[in-house]
Structure formats: structure tokens, C-alpha cells
């Protein structure tokens, strides 16, 4: 994604890049109800660590997979308390994606932006830079391309596919950061099998935020994580949900919105149901590989 870069460390500290509290302020647009957002930092000092942009919760809530802008897949275990809150995150492994030539994905080929686990267990990953979608079956990090090599040439660069969603029927949809012609909403692309992609339905939005990730929830609704940035106030994140309709998607409902500057740059989202039957939204932040900014994982329990 086109990421706002703050040139001076002192300014980044002031606006609170990556600064997270254990319990933060969340605003719900419908009734101003303050939802409980529990957040922890993921400590890791490897030089490849950082820039997280996609997340999937695994092992019933006790582990995760995450991808980075640097082209690396991370696996980690989660320790939770009796209430289900995450207490700690421990890295278990990290593996670099390979490019279409079988070489380590670096530079223009490395910007992994969206992650989903397909029903058959494959990882579906969308990349910016050299824009593409591919499936992977770790520990084999070689890609199986889901399009011709130049299918998304008009998206090459840093403002392309921000989310990959997989519906209950197994259909893969990509959501672009850019708005559709006429600013009708976020533009989508739908995978039609083999290497075929077609234009999908627009997702209505007010244009005040930019999409950073999305996921279908257990309730069948599409949840879209969005982000706004101010040099003065820092980041604001919101979570919008859409009902699936016969011809696309409904108008969005804002599920939650953070107060400006309370949190960092949330870029990854997974919506899932825990063993207690609660639907949770798990977010992960992108620290832009800045050493003074943390990588944080936050969760909220969504209303049934």
C-alpha cells in the first residue's frame, strides 16, 4: 500500500506511530459504545521482521500466520488468558516467499500485502510492486500464479491490491486501494478460476479512509479494515461491514473507529470465531520497519 512515511523520528514519536495501550478508546458510530480492544506487542529483533500487512489466526486462536512488506511469511504461537485475551506472541518460524523464477522474493517482487487461507489449506497471497496473486503450500515457498504474468500490469507499483477475501463458496475477491471510476467505492476483482479475473462489484465508501484489509466473517458479512493518517494526529482506523446482496454489497455499517493517534498503522485483519462462540476481529500493525515503532496485535469481540 502507499504508506505515509514520516521523515523525522521525533515527529513519528509525537504522532505515536505504533504506540499502543493495553485498553484503548474505540468509537462506534451507531451508539458511541466503547468496545474493548485488547492489544499486545509482538517482540522480535530479526532484521527481516516488521512491515506486517496480513494476518490469519490459526490453531483455534492459539497461533497466527502473518506476512510482511518484505516478502516474508511468519508463524507465531499465541498465549491467552482465561478470558481469551492474548498475553504474548512468540515467533515460531519465518520463510521468504519465492518469485516466479524460484528466487527469493526481493525488492519489486517482495511486497506481500494480503493473506488468506483457502478451504484446501493453500495460502492465497496478493502482492504490490509486481502486482500478482499466487497460492503457496508451505514449507514450499514457490508460487502457483493465479493470473498471467502481466494481467495486473496497470497496478504495478505501490497502490494496488490491499485485501484478499474468500467467500464461504470459495470465491476469491481482491479489493484495491484505489476507488472505482466516478469514486463509487473501492474497486474489486473476482477470480473466475484458472488464471481468469474479472471486475467485481464496487464497495461503497465515503472516501475519507483507505482500505488496508478485509475478510468475510463467520456471519457471512464482509468486514473491511480502513485507515486514515494525519501528520498531526497520527493514525485512525475503522472497521466497516457489508451485507452480501444479490448484486454485490450493501452500504457499509461502521462497526468501530479508533480515536486519532490512539493506535498505530493497522494493516491486517482476520475475522473469526473462537471456541466460546465469540466472533473476534484481530488486527495487526505495520511499523514501516521503523526500529522505534512496535508491531502490535489487537482484538475486539464483535457484537453477535
Could you report the per-residue pLDDT of 174-197, keeping only the tens digit for each? 999 878 766 779 999 999 999 999
Higher pLDDT, 19 or 68: 68
- Report the pLDDT value the prediction gives residue 5, as an integer from 0 to 100: 41
Asked whether the predicted pLDDT for residue 260 surpasses 50, the reply is: yes
- Report the pLDDT value the prediction gives residue 251, as an integer from 0 to 100: 96
Residue 35: pLDDT band (50, 70, 90) is low
- Report the pLDDT value the prediction gives residue 303, as an integer from 0 to 100: 74
Residue 231: pLDDT band (50, 70, 90) is very high
Mean pLDDT of 219-233: 96
Q: What is the 3-state secondary structure (H, E, C) of the chain?
A: CCCCCCCCHHHHHHHCCCCCCCECCEECCCCCCCCCEEEEECCCCCCCCCCEEEEEEEHHHCEEEEEECCCEEEEEEEEECCCCCEEEEEEEEEEECECCCCCECCHHHCCEEEEEECCCCCEEEEECECCEEEEEECCEEEEEECCCCCCCHHHCECCCEEEEEECCCCCEEEEEEEECCCCCCEEEEEECCCCCEEECCCECCCCCCEEEEEEECCCCCEEEEEEEEECCCEEEEEEEEECEECCEECCCEEEEEECCCCECCEEEEEEEECCCCCEEEEEEECCCCCCCCCCEEEEEECCC
Amino acid at each position: 500500500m502507499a504508506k505515509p512515511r514520516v521523515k523525522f523520528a521525533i515527529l513519528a514519536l509525537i504522532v505515536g506511530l505504533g504506540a499502543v495501550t493495553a485498553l484503548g478508546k474505540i468509537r462506534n458510530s451507531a451508539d458511541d459504545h466503547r468496545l474493548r480492544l485488547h492489544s499486545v506487542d509482538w517482540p522480535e529483533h530479526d532484521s527481516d521482521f516488521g512491515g506486517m500487512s496480513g494476518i490469519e489466526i490459526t490453531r483455534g486462536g492459539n497461533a497466527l500466520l502473518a506476512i510482511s512488506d518484505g516478502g516474508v511469511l511468519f508463524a507465531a504461537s499465541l498465549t491467552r488468558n482465561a478470558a481469551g485475551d492474548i498475553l504474548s506472541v512468540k515467533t515460531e518460524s519465518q520463510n521468504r516467499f519465492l518469485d516466479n523464477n524460484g528466487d527469493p522474493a526481493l525488492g519489486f517482487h517482495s511486497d506481500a500485502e494480503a493473506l488468506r487461507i483457502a478451504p484446501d489449506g493453500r495460502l492465497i497471497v496478493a502482492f504490490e510492486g509486481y502486482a500478482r496473486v499466487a497460492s503457496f503450500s508451505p514449507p514450499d515457498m514457490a508460487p502457483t500464479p493465479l493470473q498471467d504474468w502481466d494481467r495486473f500490469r496497470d497496478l504495478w507499483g505501490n497502490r494496488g491490491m490491499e485485501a484478499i477475501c474468500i467467500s464461504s463458496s470459495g470465491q476469491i475477491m481482491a479489493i484495491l486501494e484505489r476507488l472505482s471510476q466516478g469514486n463509487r467505492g473501492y474497486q474489486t476483482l473476482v477470480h473466475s478460476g484458472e488464471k481468469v479475473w474479472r471486475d467485481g462489484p464496487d464497495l461503497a465508501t465515503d472516501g475519507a479512509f483507505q482500505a488496508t484489509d478485509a475478510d468475510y466473517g463467520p456471519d457471512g458479512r464482509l468486514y473491511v479494515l480502513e485507515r486514515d493518517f494525519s501528520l498531526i494526529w497520527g493514525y485512525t482506523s475503522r472497521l466497516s461491514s457489508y451485507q452480501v446482496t444479490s448484486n454485490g454489497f450493501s452500504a457499509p455499517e461502521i462497526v468501530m473507529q479508533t480515536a486519532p493517534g490512539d493506535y498505530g498503522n493497522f494493516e491486517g485483519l482476520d475475522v473469526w470465531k473462537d471456541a466460546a462462540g465469540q466472533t473476534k476481529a484481530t488486527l495487526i500493525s505495520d511499523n514501516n520497519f521503523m526500529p522505534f515503532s512496535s508491531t502490535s496485535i489487537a482484538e475486539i469481540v464483535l457484537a453477535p
